[in-house]
Chain A
Amino acid sequence: MNYFIQFLHSDLALRIGLIVLIVAVMPLLAGYIVLLERKILADMQVRLGPMRVGPHGLLQPIADALKLLIKEDIIPDTADKWVFWFAPAISVTTALSAFAFVPFSHRAYVVDVNVGILFLLAISSVGILGIVLGGWASNSHYPLLGALRSAAQLVSYEVAMGMAVVSGLLLAGTLSMREIVRVQQEQHIWFFACSPIAFFLYLVASVAETNRAPFDLPEAESELVAGFHTEYSGFRWALYFLAEYTSILVVSSIAVTLFLGGWLAPFPNVSWLKFLQIIPPEVWFLVKVFIILYAFIWYRGTFPRYRFDQLMRLGWRFMIPLGIVNIIGVGTAIVLAQQYRWSLARALLLCNVGVFLIAVFLAAVGQRRERILG
């Protein structure tokens, strides 16, 4: 009994509790994010959204989950049964396990690895493997096309995303998720202000990475029925959905940690804003994550889908070169600040303006090519 109480007070109990909480709450949370998305989209489209199940449709996710659980589970005759069975599991496990590396606050995290963000990026891109395998194993045209698109999209946007993250990491000087936030606390600035271009690149690339509109080509309803999960139904389909929404949360968590100061309250050194720190850091973290999530839904409600060549052109002609230039820019700024005793703010301003001019140049070249090629 004594040991048990000791265990409860130990660090390990907190970690295990957090794991259980993540695994238990995430499916429910994903369901409610779906509801949130439906509601917000409905608002933007001057509709009401789900209203029938519970007050204002609040019980809709539960009804949906029940429906999906008891729905007939179809495996196509010619499908590769084992891969078909296994693919959604890959997506879900990677998406859920990514949360182990996300620090919700200085005290609430499962593990703090010294290569945390690297691991997060790696494991969240393994999730695409589930999509590719699922599309392949269905043995059907549309899923295969969806999977192919997904693979191509991943290859091009993972690079841009990596470049954006590296720019942030140059500023942080560490790969550990907790340390990144701690550095932002010490420097009294969130990194999106240091390198807005990197933040922009990351946001765009993460939309593409999670297969969301306007980059939702792998599941383009108007072109590919439902894309890679056309042949999936019932619970396995629900797993894909869970994976998709969990990975949205993961990429937004990375964005929040790297660029938006993680669990920190805004403006910690402004005295009349001290009251903001009464709100616990976990809540700040979630608020920021949900702001990014809202932006994702907002994009979906606003932007039409890219054509595939436009997607690739944007990725390879603009995002990746700009990412490389931005790394050079941020690196130069840091060298100027450390070696030549410039103030960091001045160096960053100069370098960001330089990078922006190069971005204008890139866009101008693209525009010219477009005009020539028609």
Chain B
Amino acid sequence: MNLKLLLRRMFLVDLLKGLWVTFRSQHPRNIYTEQYPKDRPLVAERYRGAPRLNNNPETGETLCIACNLCALACPEQLIVVGWEREEGTRRKVLTTFTYDLSRCMFCGLCEDACPTDALELTQDFELASYSREGAIWDRHMLEQGPTPTRYTR
């Protein structure tokens, strides 16, 4: 007969240990819940979320040179870059930019491919939309970024 085990059982040692564990964990310091709509969570720096087309902060013009490298890099082929040649200089000028978020896996290859750091995956994570079409972002949306409702309470 295992006397130690028996006495352990009689004095409810294991049960009391369990009770102590749950009692101890009641300290408010331990609480890990984020009050999401009220307090916005801090996203990790390397998190890859909503894509954004950056503008030159000084001139306000787009940094995109319509080189199409992002579209070529994309494994899902969800980026479509539209451009036209500028009269005279024969420079490529960006006209449209479509990014189908519904197929995006946020691998970040487009971001890496971009020579001018125009396309960037940001820390914004609120990408829900009411329709499938809503997940296809045009140039305006990409430059502006998502605008989720901010709740005050």
| Interface set of A (CB-CB < 8 Å, partner B) | 40, 43-48, 51, 298-299, 301-303, 356, 359-360, 363-364, 367-368
Pick from A40, A303, A360: contact of B10, CB below 8 A.
A360
Pick from B5, B23, B35: contact of A367, CB below 8 A.
B5
A-B contact count (CB 8 A): 50
Asked if B42 is at the interface (CB within 8 A of a chain A CB), the reply is no
Q: Is the CB of A367 within 8 A of B6?
A: yes
Report the Cα distance A47→B28, complex, angstroms.
9
**Chain B residue with Cβ nearest A300:** B22
Q: Is the CB of B15 within 8 A of A303?
A: yes
Report the Cα distance A284→B21, complex, angstroms.
28
Task: Return A372 CB to nearest CB of chain B, in Å.
Answer: 13
Report the Cα distance A218→B5, complex, angstroms.
31
Task: Return A54 CB to nearest CB of chain B, in Å.
Answer: 11
Q: What are 21 residue pairs bridging A and B, where the CB atoms are less than 8 Å apart in the complex? A: A40-B26, A43-B28, A44-B22, A44-B23, A44-B25, A46-B25, A46-B30, A46-B33, A47-B32, A47-B33, A51-B35, A298-B23, A302-B18, A302-B21, A303-B15, A359-B10, A363-B10, A364-B1, A367-B2, A367-B5, A367-B6
Query: Which A residues touch B6, using CB under 8 A?
Result: 360, 363-364, 367
Task: Return B40 CB to nearest CB of chain A, in Å.
Answer: 16
Which residues of chain B from 10 to 39 have any CB-CB distance to chain A below 8 Å in the complex?
10, 15, 18-19, 21-23, 25-26, 28, 30-33, 35
Q: Is the CB of A301 within 8 A of B22?
A: yes
Q: Is the CB of B31 within 8 A of A302?
A: no
Q: Is the CB of A302 within 8 A of B32?
A: no
* Interface size range of chain B in the complex: 20 to 34
Q: Is the CB of A302 within 8 A of B9?
A: no
| Known pairs A363-B9, A367-B6; A48 contacts B18 (CB<8 A) | no
Which residues of chain B from 30 to 55 have any CB-CB distance to chain A below 8 Å in the complex?
30-33, 35
| Known pairs A51-B35, A302-B19; A43 contacts B26 (CB<8 A) | yes
**Chain A residue with Cβ nearest B7:** A360
Report the Cα distance A368→B7, complex, angstroms.
14
Task: Return B13 CB to nearest CB of chain A, in Å.
Answer: 13
Query: Which A residues touch B7, using CB under 8 A?
Result: 360
Q: Is the CB of B31 within 8 A of A303?
A: no
Report the Cα distance A368→B30, complex, angstroms.
42
Q: Is the CB of A367 within 8 A of B9?
A: yes
**Chain A residue with Cβ nearest B17:** A302
Report the Cα distance A40→B19, complex, angstroms.
13
| Known pairs A303-B15, A360-B6, A367-B6; A46 contacts B31 (CB<8 A) | yes
Query: Which B residues touch A368, using CB under 8 A?
Result: 1
Pick from B1, B5, B19, B32: contact of A298, CB below 8 A.
B19
Q: Is the CB of B31 within 8 A of A48?
A: yes
Task: Return A119 CB to nearest CB of chain B, in Å.
Answer: 32
Task: Return B15 CB to nearest CB of chain A, in Å.
Answer: 7
Q: Is the CB of A298 within 8 A of B10?
A: no
Query: Which A residues touch B31, using CB under 8 A?
Result: 43, 46-48
Q: Is the CB of B35 within 8 A of A48?
A: yes
Report the Cα distance A42→B97, complex, angstroms.
47
Task: Return A226 CB to nearest CB of chain B, in Å.
Answer: 24
Report the Cα distance A192→B25, complex, angstroms.
29
Query: Which B residues touch A51, using CB under 8 A?
Result: 35
Report the Cα distance A301→B25, complex, angstroms.
11
Query: Which B residues touch A302, using CB under 8 A?
Result: 15, 18-19, 21-22
Task: Return A318 CB to nearest CB of chain B, in Å.
Answer: 11
